[in-house]
Structure 1
């Protein structure tokens, strides 16, 4: 493959690398702009889409002019870096003309495509190469808007699918124990992915641990039951049965291939009887047995007149897509329950589902169908029902009771929401007097009649974010409906290149049937990509069939219909929910609404009953969200009331500031993982709160950024947290050095973790001066500890120890036990790095006793890692392995990427020391990837040297020389030496390389090493 003369990397922090090295793109907005263009490389991105991507729903008035300016500056920066005119102007926007091999996301996408016949070892190399392209969250340092976030989520889901496939390939190659350990960590992070549980069960069984395999199955069963209320799927149940029979599969377990799934057949066509001769009321037999194909699924139907004493069921003019399980379940339910109400937001397909159920029931029973859409007066309800069932001379409830008292009938009342009270009264009267009557109703909210069973009609399932082919897309009911309604020429000309746009359309519309149909109507004049880009434009989702219901001819009208059905007092509740991003909790809603928790609970129940709020009950705590189409409508309504909008966003930001402060205090101790997870669930809201505080120039922006610094560290979000802090500091030039000091210290800490030592030392020094000026000795001690850590990684062990000793005096005087424990750990770390193992061990053991007493799992695990390194350098291999595995378990539960990377590195070294070079290389590669993802460049150097030793043990001296060369180059870039404790082992490796390769060839290979860690992991076979 041709080596590109530049590369743009988005699978992590945005990076541009030209022929002469990194190309700086300093402004956050320009970095985001390049990231947006890279996500749509070689496609024209309209200016409107870029404005949405940069400013989301709140662009400034000068957005277009500002965009032009950013493009001009970006072009100059790229041209100066040797990339030339890579950003072109093509109406109606701009295009990034980079070739596929010049973008890491394109290389990743190409690598995940597979040949179904490839052997497991080939699949494993390919999948590892794909995963090794990732350096962290996609565009983690770029603030991008809604459509880009959807693409980011798609890429993350695709990456997770690749992880599953790689585990399967490694199992097929016999790596049962190593894969099992990795899967234990994965099921903790992703407990609802059954494929991971299946692989874990199989790995434990193949490793000869039958009891552990069955225990893993029981854990999966318990998790799925608790979180989803379901039992394991057929594949996992079959695996349990075969293990119980001691007959589990022994061959390869790669059951599917990411990015290249088998084709799915065309839309199913359902057999339904003709309903032109519906039976008379009271007659249980059917006439007109002829069967015809009735496709079905739009709300746009043609109604027939009354015939033979019963209303004909409307005959759909389009195919029904999906809903098979709903139809079957509702037919069964109607046999048992007397009142069933289909509820759901407008456009969810309630009417079409009711028609399908009525058609199925009409094969054996009398059915009367009443469309209430055009009825505006509840007093006319009895007459409408009388007409449907053939009672014409006396259109009253009493006459209906007399006619139906001795008959069996299924009465369908469609669109009851605007006549809800009248429908409820009539239905209660009829059911109380007519034992053979059953009612199927459709309404945005339940009727509220005693004995009512509510059947929510949700959106259609949308495609998984990782799908890349049309064949895969057709597995999704949302895609099937969209393509069934799209213009025939548009569907006929589709290729796999259109798959991402089709997936974005269906996901962006939440699988809402009406929205999909309206978007499909635009395929006569727009491409799939253009529709995906214009989903939020007012005119796109408009133009339903002329014969359709008026409120179904435009999505906005449908949502407005639902909004109009709210009580006036409830409408502000709905509008203000638009301030949330990614869902919210009951407490958050109460704060934004300025209501008590009890009132907020009632309000959410009311909105949920009207199908305007979706409830997610997983994880033991209810979270709520709006469908995106509803959120967009709510945001428009809120924007039309500027004072209300600002007040709601102020309260939203204040709530998440309080949440961040409270959580920051809880991020020590055994409950830290719980609080981390809760805060992470609101990451979108935290971003939104920071953006609002920045836009309003609120001083709370800086306080929120500081409160989130520890969260960002524990979750490996170094770049994002640092950016939040520095941008907030830039906007607070009015503060004194003392006032700025807490934020500067937090930024210094995150900068240190990124390996930017000079900048970290500068910031830490400024923070120290500020805290000393304020007389805050405790904070000054934290600055000294950070300066000590910076000196330690720079190899300045005496200076580090002096900083730590000065900090210890402060902590002792204050009786600060956590501070003393931290200093002991850090001094022990510096000691073993310097090779002073006898000094390090007692310091670390004292720190461990403190952390045990403080019940601090993160630091307890960190000390165990340090003690494991001491044990390793003393030749106590099994002790080192035991300590590292204990630490890995804790770090995995905390989802602490840095700690996971350290533990994996140590376990790789133990494997190398005990003669298992292949296993060592696998662990070390994963450690390198993890350090890369969190941005810890200092530790990458030690892992590279260890990988070189593993390659040397496996006989690949060339690769080993390249890796030692890259480690040396990276240390030169960072300005750090080889830790003293590692010098003997590294010199031994270099001496062996010189002996095998010769001095000149060794030096040439080291100088010609790959330019980045990404290059290493992309080529590393692992």
Structure 2
């Protein structure tokens, strides 16, 4: 019954407090003091919870919105629990008449047996929200509402306000299109809010009469004129319905909104063309999942609401995204407090899973009322399509499954098959990937692009316009629905091995483009989400060898974009699955990358370096020298082999392996590797005291970088280290500052290293506060990207800063943790790291023998950051 009443305006009773707030507060305070020994503790709680923010003498204006289950006071939301809201709704529907207690309990707790005490608790909640006199006891009967409630924004207007959150730019775009064109179509997937935007746009065209024609229930094309006439409330005096519609539309300027036209597209196109041809003052606005294709049609592609990106963990930032704001607003309107900050990352994931579709987000807000966000995420994983849409959401479908089936059932057999095959992609993909992976019989690779174009036109495949990202993709809600229709299709047709092979080939091809184009190379078309999905499949019972090849082809790209821990985990899983049948070069590459420096993290296998160097390193290097080894594999494998030799004490063997890697890079013209590894040769020669040769290597690296348009900051970083080894600290500072201010893009790990090195140089130069600022910035980046390789250097640098500023106890704690990390990983100090350790050991004579209290690394880093922030915010920071 209540669902049919969107809002209530009940005359007759107005509640207001005429006693000033100060007087009331004083009286109640005195009562508490006087009767402290006799008042029940619950009465104290009631007194303490009285809302003292009510106006002192003016009547209080309340409005009740049943559509969104919210109570407003002067436009502000009044927190109210679900049961209290249900009770208020029942009392309000009685129009000021008393309602029996049994009736109230039956309607507020349907199907549940409760005691009168439950009812009294909710009555007290209403009185706290509305005022003590708002809900009156009627002896022998029950309760009555003695309060006038005005109507909140309801019906279509309320729905518009909700679903238009974050749509200001689209609304302005629609207004401009309608002012320039007589035929505009809003295109987008189901649930994206096309109808809401169209209604809002039609309201803005005040010079035009607006007529809304809902086409969703119309199954027969010949009924188009009939439903249009009904929407215009025309009196038909003869059988010529279309003629009556044409005459009525010609009488005055009109905006005709034809809503949900996708299932009658050809018929609607003919109808619209005829109307526009005969009614010069007519504008037509359509909503559809694909355009009409008429000449002069203007399209507005409506995207889902923007969601927080992957990796965004800050609650403050997450709350600013439109998708999250919509969920939180609906959640709050139901009277629930906002979820705590710790729940925000889970809410961000849910919003992404629902693709930012407003209709689905309303569903999510409803479910959040019953359990924490993290529990919703766990319970509802994979079940969103079967959940009912919120009551009053304005949808013609009762759940997401029916909404999506509406789109899919209109496809041809070929389109439906391709849509099912496309679910093999977990992320975005280019058309050529779809053709290669999904073009098997009865389809052909040549037919796939056209079929994809049709799916894009029907808003079943999203392109850059819809997602604000490169590539094509299935929205997650659509993908889940299609998989549910035929769960075994991808496995049955062997699509995952095909995708693995395409990804590996594309990654190798992209690397060759990088060689030729250098810094100006186009971005990767493959999506890390697809790489991740295929590696998980391969290492969980799929094609292990395909997964091992893919992880070796993808780790370079992953090292640039992160997260590092994830690629390290995939490399480790691939290594653990090596067996007698594993190709030698695969085993060699995996072992070298994990024992060397293939990933910028501290790994457990680093502690195994001495054994690996003695037992497996020579055979691994030999495997890299085969004729069929991809050049990038050979280069990276030899570089890692060199690091292993360096860490086990053989600098000269390291130099020889790195020279061999550089020779391969030069033979194949791999410019980026020539620059990176030639500068590394210079750095190692400086370590060996060969400064003249080192400077020659650096000069060649800089020349190559300039010739190929490659960044120079890595070379400058290593040059600075070399100059430090030559006791040129000021020159090291100058080169590092030059790299930081070059304006060249750099990965976070390089930015962190530059800042950290600069902090070390400045500290050793005695410029303590400058050093601390850079050390703090480097530490912040290191923690954010989980760059564990830099942890011991950050801790030792911080320990020396603490020691310099008289914090000896902190310095010892940090130094001991750094020592533990270094011993576990057989890591060697270089350049400024050696000098920092020497000064730290001199200032803390017992450092090397100090007992390790087992302070976790994370806690040590937190303590260090707190130390930095304490001093940088103090009066001496400047």
Q: Is the 8 A contact 1:586 1:597 kept in 2?
A: no
TM superposition score normalised by structure 2: 0.68
Alignment CA distance shift 1:653-1:884 (3 Å): same
Moved more, 802-811 or 561-570: 802-811
Please state if 1:376 is matched with 2:235. Answer: no
Choose the corresponding residue for 2:608, options 759, 762, 770. Answer: 759
For the residue of structure 2 that corresponds to 1:342, the secondary structure is strand
Please give the alpha-carbon distance, in whole angstroms, between the structure 2 residues aligned to 1:699 and 1:905. Answer: 40
1:685 deviates by 1.2
Other-structure match for 2:433: 588
Other-structure match for 1:561: 406
Q: Is the 8 A contact 2:724 2:832 kept in 1?
A: no
Please give the alpha-carbon distance, in whole angstroms, between the structure 2 residues aligned to 1:851 and 1:857. Answer: 10
Please state if 1:496 is matched with 2:340. Answer: yes
Other-structure match for 1:641: 489
Alignment CA distance shift 1:447-1:769 (3 Å): same
Choose the corresponding residue for 1:912, options 751, 757, 763. Answer: 763
Please give the alpha-carbon distance, in whole angstroms, between the structure 2 residues aligned to 1:618 and 1:318. Answer: 22
Q: Give ranges in structure 2 of 5+ residues lacking alignment.
A: 1-74, 79-149, 869-878
Q: Is the 8 A contact 2:518 2:708 kept in 1?
A: no
Q: Deviations over 1:442-471 (max 9, x none)?
A: 2221122222222333334557855648xx
Q: Deviations over 1:84-139 (max 9, x none)?
A: xxxxxxxxxxxxxxxxxxxxxxxxxxxxxxxxxxxxxxxxxxxxxxxxxxxxxxxx
Please give the alpha-carbon distance, in whole angstroms, between the structure 1 residues aligned to 2:521 and 2:168. Answer: 39
Alignment CA distance shift 1:297-1:745 (3 Å): farther
Q: Is the 8 A contact 1:656 1:689 kept in 2?
A: no
Please give the alpha-carbon distance, in whole angstroms, between the structure 1 residues aligned to 2:536 and 2:796. Answer: 42
Q: Is the 8 A contact 1:414 1:442 kept in 2?
A: yes
Q: Is the 8 A contact 2:212 2:231 kept in 1?
A: yes
Q: Is the 8 A contact 2:289 2:459 kept in 1?
A: yes
1:871 deviates by 1.9
Alignment CA distance shift 1:914-1:514 (3 Å): same
For the residue of structure 1 that corresponds to 2:218, the secondary structure is coil
For the residue of structure 2 that corresponds to 1:624, the secondary structure is coil
1:801 deviates by 0.7
For the residue of structure 2 that corresponds to 1:690, the secondary structure is helix
Which aligned pairs between 1:786-825 and structure 2 lie closer than 5 A? 786-794=640-648, 796=649, 799-805=650-656, 808=659, 816=667
1:338 deviates by 1.3
Please give the alpha-carbon distance, in whole angstroms, between the structure 2 residues aligned to 1:832 and 1:954. Answer: 32
Q: Is the 8 A contact 1:579 1:635 kept in 2?
A: no
For the residue of structure 2 that corresponds to 1:572, the secondary structure is helix
1:900 deviates by 3.0
For the residue of structure 2 that corresponds to 1:678, the secondary structure is coil
Q: Is the 8 A contact 2:328 2:338 kept in 1?
A: no
Which aligned pairs between 1:64-79 and structure 2 lie closer than 5 A? none
Q: Is the 8 A contact 2:186 2:299 kept in 1?
A: yes
Q: Deviations over 1:10-30 (max 9, x none)?
A: xxxxxxxxxxxxxxxxxxxxx
Please state if 1:295 is matched with 2:154. Answer: yes
Please give the alpha-carbon distance, in whole angstroms, between the structure 1 residues aligned to 2:735 and 2:341. Answer: 49
Question: Whose radius of gyration is greater, 1 or 2?
Answer: 2
Alignment CA distance shift 1:1004-1:514 (3 Å): same
1:346 deviates by 1.9
Alignment CA distance shift 1:495-1:829 (3 Å): closer
Please state if 1:614 is matched with 2:462. Answer: yes
Choose the corresponding residue for 1:653, options 500, 514, 517. Answer: 500
Other-structure match for 1:724: 570
1:828 deviates by 4.5
TM superposition score normalised by structure 1: 0.59
Q: Deviations over 1:893-943 (max 9, x none)?
A: 24161x333322331233224442111122234445556677776654444
Other-structure match for 2:735: 883
Other-structure match for 2:478: 630
Please give the alpha-carbon distance, in whole angstroms, between the structure 1 residues aligned to 2:490 and 2:729. Answer: 66
Alignment CA distance shift 1:1007-1:387 (3 Å): closer
Please state if 1:740 is matched with 2:613. Answer: no
1:433 deviates by 1.4
Alignment CA distance shift 1:1006-1:946 (3 Å): farther
Please give the alpha-carbon distance, in whole angstroms, between the structure 2 residues aligned to 1:824 and 1:344. Answer: 52
1:1009 deviates by 8.8
Choose the corresponding residue for 2:823, options 963, 972, 982. Answer: 972
1:975 deviates by 3.9
Q: Deviations over 1:57-89 (max 9, x none)?
A: xxxxxxxxxxxxxxxxxxxxxxxxxxxxxxxxx
1:985 deviates by 6.0
Q: Deviations over 1:642-686 (max 9, x none)?
A: 56x6433333222211122223445557625746x526x721111
Alignment CA distance shift 1:1006-1:505 (3 Å): same
1:555 deviates by 0.7
Q: Is the 8 A contact 2:301 2:465 kept in 1?
A: no
Other-structure match for 2:296: 451
Please give the alpha-carbon distance, in whole angstroms, between the structure 2 residues aligned to 1:715 and 1:461. Answer: 22
Other-structure match for 1:209: none
Q: Is the 8 A contact 1:505 1:535 kept in 2?
A: no
Q: Deviations over 1:795-847 (max 9, x none)?
A: x2xx221453477589879985979988875565445445x3xx134234235
Alignment CA distance shift 1:534-1:1004 (3 Å): same
For the residue of structure 2 that corresponds to 1:607, the secondary structure is helix
1:743 deviates by 3.5
For the residue of structure 1 that corresponds to 2:435, the secondary structure is helix
Please give the alpha-carbon distance, in whole angstroms, between the structure 1 residues aligned to 2:200 and 2:467. Answer: 35
Alignment CA distance shift 1:875-1:388 (3 Å): same
1:982 deviates by 6.1
Please state if 1:419 is matched with 2:264. Answer: yes
Q: Give the paired residue count.
A: 700
Alignment CA distance shift 1:265-1:969 (3 Å): same
1:1015 deviates by 1.1
Alignment CA distance shift 1:506-1:487 (3 Å): same
Alignment CA distance shift 1:568-1:391 (3 Å): farther
Q: Is the 8 A contact 1:544 1:553 kept in 2?
A: yes
Q: Is the 8 A contact 1:294 1:319 kept in 2?
A: no
1:558 deviates by 0.3
Please give the alpha-carbon distance, in whole angstroms, between the structure 2 residues aligned to 1:1016 and 1:547. Answer: 51
For the residue of structure 1 that corresponds to 2:472, the secondary structure is strand
1:714 deviates by 4.5
For the residue of structure 1 that corresponds to 2:192, the secondary structure is coil
Please give the alpha-carbon distance, in whole angstroms, between the structure 2 residues aligned to 1:333 and 1:683. Answer: 37
Alignment CA distance shift 1:296-1:878 (3 Å): farther
Please give the alpha-carbon distance, in whole angstroms, between the structure 1 residues aligned to 2:203 and 2:832. Answer: 79
Q: Deviations over 1:618-641 (max 9, x none)?
A: 999842233221121122235253
For the residue of structure 2 that corresponds to 1:370, the secondary structure is strand
Q: Is the 8 A contact 2:302 2:466 kept in 1?
A: no
Other-structure match for 2:186: 342
Alignment CA distance shift 1:858-1:373 (3 Å): closer
1:514 deviates by 2.6
Q: Give ranges in structure 1 of 5+ residues lacking alignment.
A: 1-263, 268-290, 299-314
Alignment CA distance shift 1:673-1:962 (3 Å): farther
Please give the alpha-carbon distance, in whole angstroms, between the structure 2 residues aligned to 1:476 and 1:934. Answer: 22
1:952 deviates by 4.0
Choose the corresponding residue for 1:901, options 740, 747, 752. Answer: 752
Please give the alpha-carbon distance, in whole angstroms, between the structure 1 residues aligned to 2:728 and 2:813. Answer: 30
Other-structure match for 2:34: none
CA RMSD of aligned residues (A): 4.5
Choose the corresponding residue for 1:700, options 533, 546, 565. Answer: 546
1:570 deviates by 1.7
Please give the alpha-carbon distance, in whole angstroms, between the structure 2 residues aligned to 1:518 and 1:780. Answer: 53
Please give the alpha-carbon distance, in whole angstroms, between the structure 1 residues aligned to 2:292 and 2:517. Answer: 47
1:351 deviates by 2.9
Please give the alpha-carbon distance, in whole angstroms, between the structure 1 residues aligned to 2:560 and 2:391. Answer: 56
Please give the alpha-carbon distance, in whole angstroms, between the structure 2 residues aligned to 1:491 and 1:936. Answer: 43
Q: Is the 8 A contact 2:164 2:196 kept in 1?
A: no
